[in-house]
Amino acid sequence: MTYCMECGKQIPDDALICPHCRTHMAAETTERNMQPVTAPSAVPWRTVVMLVLSNLVPLIGVWFFGWDRWSIVFLYWMESAVIGFYAILKMIMAKGVPKKPVTGLGAKSLFLIVFFMIHFGGFMIVHLALLTGAHMLITAIAGTRESTSSIFSIMLSGSSGMFLSHGASFIMNYWFGIEYQRVTPAQVMISPYPRIILMQFVSFFSFILFAPELVMVLFKTVFDIIGHVLERRMFRKR
């Protein structure tokens, strides 16, 4: 049983052209590109489990270290930076070939990486400004103060769990799962935004609606899993 390395669909063992995406299997690369593999699981359970465990870090901080809702929201903002970091690594490794020829700067991986770093950096700054403004507004309206004393502990302990979780997904799915052979740098460049926007939308509105810490973590974890699974399916269909 073999699979096309371009679209990921099952093809005959002796096929020279994929019947689904019409990709030519060159004679010199047929043996490498059409090795028998196990059909990919619809849900990457190993990395989903690690993702759930990393999302328990905020609850541990709340229960044992006095983290508040602002601490959780700040941690989720830092997770966006972790996702951006691994997106850059994925763009560097991406070996996919566009279905349509691309010319100009858009065909240069280095240009796309630099553009992503500038654009994503601006996205992170605007996002932090929005969160900070909401924090100040809530403090003024409710007359309560969300502590920022645990920010450094979050940066050291909380973000490390997120870094390890996304690193495991990078190694297991993107590298060992050879997703990098199916996607182009341009496709990787846009892939973080839907997941981050969905994840941060949920955490932001949970914060401004005064949701309890447990509810914030639960909602974010559910939508994080959804985004993770959809990203894996998108990469496998390329």
Given a contact cutoff of 8 angstroms between Cβ atoms, the answer to whether 124 and 132 are in contact is no
**Position 12 pLDDT exceeds 80:** no
Give the model's pLDDT for residue 27: 39
Q: Which residues contact 43 (CB under 8 A, 6 or more apart)?
A: 229
Q: What is the pTM of this model?
A: 0.73
- Least confident interval from 33-42, 142-151, 196-205: 33-42
Q: Which residues contact 88 (CB under 8 A, 6 or more apart)?
A: 113, 116, 117
41 or 205, which is more confident?
A: 205
Element (H, E) at 189: helix 185-190
Alpha helices in 3-68 (DSSP H): 27-33, 45-55, 57-65
pLDDT in tens, 184-237: 888 899 988 988 888 788 888 888 887 888 888 888 888 888 888 877 777 766
